[in-house]
Amino acid sequence: MSVPPSASPQASPLVARLEALLGGGPVFFHEVLEALGDQSYRAVLNAWSDLREAHALDRDERGRYRLGPPSKFG
């Protein structure tokens, strides 16, 4: 069994927060920004990029993001 990316020592706390947010169900990107309003937009985008390397992000029929399985390349 593999260790989730957020559990690794090098994963940022912001990436872990994104994982938790998306793990709770599909969300629109503006909801991500609202939930992480204490962070700069740049920090959120950097964490989003790190998360995309670790997980395949998917979108539902309404355009909401959801967490996919761990990436084979991350």
Enclosing domain of residue 19: 11-68
Q: Which two tokens stand for residue 62?
A: 């309404």
Q: Which residues of 30-48 are buried (b: 16+ CB within 10 A; e: fewer)?
A: eebeebbeebeeeebeebb
Instruction: Measure the CA–CA gap between 27 and 22, rounded to whole angstroms.
Output: 7
- Res 2: pLDDT: 37
Per-residue model confidence (pLDDT) at position 6: 45
**Torsion sign over Cα 22, 24, 29, 33:** negative
In-domain check, residue 3: no
Has residue 5 been placed in a domain? no
Q: With respect to residue 6, please indicate whether it lies within any of the assigned structural domains.
A: no
User: Is 1 within a domain?
Assistant: no
pLDDT tens-digit profile of 12-31? 999 999 999 999 999 999 99
Indicate the pLDDT class of residue 74, thresholds 50, 70 and 90. low
Tally of structural domains, the chain: 1
How many other C-beta atoms can be found within 10 angstroms of the C-beta atom of residue 54? 20
- Residue 4 is assigned to a structural domain of this protein: no
> Which DSSP category does 66 fall into?
E
Q: Is residue 30 situated within a structural domain? A: yes
pLDDT tens, 46-62?
A: 999 999 988 888 999 99
**Mean per-residue pLDDT over the chain, rounded:** 84
